[in-house]
Amino acid sequence: MTTIGVEEEYLLLDPVTGLPVPLADKVRAAAGVARIVADQEVQFELLQAQVEVATPVCSTLEEAGGHLLRLRHAIGAAAEAQGCRIAACATPPMRHGHPVAVTDQARYRAMLTQAPQLVAEQLVNGMHVHVAVPSREAGVQALNRIRVWLPTLTAMSANSPLWDGHDTGFASWRTVIFSRWPVSGMPPSFHDVADYDRRVRQLLESGLISDTGQLYWQARLSTRYPTLEVRCLDVQLRADDAVMLAGVVRALVDTALAEVTAGAPAPDCAPELLQAAMWHAARHGLSDTLVDPGGRSGRAGDVLYQLLRYIAPALDMSGDARQVTALVHRLLQSGTGADRQRAALAEGGLRAVTDLIGAESTTP
């Protein structure tokens, strides 16, 4: 069975004001002292109001979900001990009038010098799914095939409608914020792994990016692990929605790898169409139409059912079909995290939003 790993980023919010608080170092230290997480499971993030966690390598969705819940509860307890709480939302409902401090690492200090305003507004949290691939060449060929589904994944994961205390009109404002970096958005199509490496090398040698960590494509080859890394997802309010997305991503990659083995051609989709489809998905989430891999616009629910049909053999092979299908149906009925945040805002204002986020961030 193809292995997976999941990374999640959380905000640290003041429990009274709902504002981001720069306590990441203290929360990481508290989690380590309590011996509830391993050192490599809690990682630095760009800003001091953010914490990132990473699961171990997992074979099953049940295993991944168990680790995510353990990590959420562990970081949540450490945050409470420091007078704050974790928030599994992709943008803060409210922000300070002044920037949050940057984590004191050379790489982050360099980014602050390079793009101070972008760093100041980088209070965004994603979810990254790593899927093992048999080789980097296979990874590139799989990337060429899954990229047409990235807008659909973005719409499914949308969980960042609010910014500076108001509704942005976007379901995933995080996607818009991240798109402003030099190398971001939809990954291009690559001829092979040599083409991939050559183009990355040009970006590095030109000085336009300082390291491969600044390849902010929505999906890429991991430089640390033998995986294809899907990065277009907003962090999820609930852990089981994260599990659903991990299952969908693994099935997409498995389906793509099977197509590579069978010699099936990669879909031919114009880059400008994919770019616009991603913007549309970030704008509307699942509340409007989506553009399918063939470039056709259809109801969001219909495109999700098309996705489920496409990955059905892979879901059956991994034993994930029942769980993933049930969770996708619930998503269509209950809405995305963005939908739930907006409903809370309409019912009880920003306080209701922060209460919702706080309650659901450690809920199974």
pLDDT digits (tens, 9 = 90+) for 308-322: 999 999 999 999 999
**Residue pair 274/144 in contact by the 8 Å Cβ criterion:** no
**Residue pair 355/344 in contact by the 8 Å Cβ criterion:** yes
Q: Which amino acid is at 77?
A: A
pLDDT in tens, 66-86: 999 999 999 999 999 999 999
> CA–CA separation, 350 vs 341, rounded Å?
9
What's the whole-model pTM score? 0.96
Per-residue pLDDT at 39: 61
Q: What is the mean pLDDT of residues 265-293?
A: 96
Per-residue pLDDT at 65: 97
* Residue 168 pLDDT grade (very low, low, confident, very high; cuts 50, 70, 90): very high
> CA–CA separation, 282 vs 280, rounded Å?
5
* Residue 36 pLDDT grade (very low, low, confident, very high; cuts 50, 70, 90): low
Per-residue pLDDT at 37: 64
- The secondary structure of residue 57, as a DSSP letter, is P
Who contacts 332 (Cβ-Cβ below 8 Å, separation ≥6)? 286, 300, 301, 304
Phi–psi pair at 95, nearest 5 degrees: -135, 160
Ramachandran bin of 38, using left for φ above 0, alpha for ψ from -120 to 50, beta for the remaining angles: beta
* Residue 43 pLDDT grade (very low, low, confident, very high; cuts 50, 70, 90): confident
Per-residue pLDDT at 35: 58
Q: How far is CA 203 from the centre of its chain?
A: 24
Is residue 172 within a helix (H) or strand (E), and if so which, with residue range?
none
- CATH number for the domain spanning 209: value is 3.30.590.20
CB atoms within 10 A of CB 206: 8
Per-residue pLDDT at 247: 98
Is residue 115 within a helix (H) or strand (E), and if so which, with residue range?
none
Per-residue pLDDT at 30: 86
CB atoms within 10 A of CB 65: 22
Query: Domain containing 172: what range?
Result: 4-360
Among residues of the chain, what percentage have pLDDT more than 90?
84
Please, what's the b/e burial string for 84-112 (b: 16 or more CB within 10 A of its CB; e: otherwise)? bbbbbbbbbbbbeeebbebbeeeebeebb
* Residue 335 pLDDT grade (very low, low, confident, very high; cuts 50, 70, 90): very high
**Residue pair 77/34 in contact by the 8 Å Cβ criterion:** yes
pLDDT above 60 for 52: yes
> CA–CA separation, 91 vs 173, rounded Å?
7
CB atoms within 10 A of CB 36: 17
Per-residue pLDDT at 15: 92
pLDDT in tens, 217-269: 999 999 999 999 999 999 999 999 999 999 999 999 999 999 999 999 999 89
CB atoms within 10 A of CB 205: 8
Per-residue pLDDT at 246: 98
> CA–CA separation, 17 vs 13, rounded Å?
8
Per-residue pLDDT at 34: 54
**Residue pair 158/337 in contact by the 8 Å Cβ criterion:** yes
Q: What is the distance between the terminal CA atoms of the chain, rounded to a whole angstrom? A: 24
**Residue pair 233/90 in contact by the 8 Å Cβ criterion:** no
> CA–CA separation, 215 vs 305, rounded Å?
31
Who contacts 320 (Cβ-Cβ below 8 Å, separation ≥6)? 61, 247, 250, 251
Number of domains in the chain: 1
Is residue 264 within a helix (H) or strand (E), and if so which, with residue range?
none
3-state secondary structure of 130: strand
> CA–CA separation, 346 vs 64, rounded Å?
34
pLDDT in tens, 92-136: 999 877 678 888 888 888 888 888 888 888 899 999 999 999 999
* Of the candidates 170, 133, 105, 227, the residue with the CA atom closest to the CA atom of residue 342: 170
Q: Which amino acid is at 55?
A: T
> Six-digit token pair at 325?
């299908």
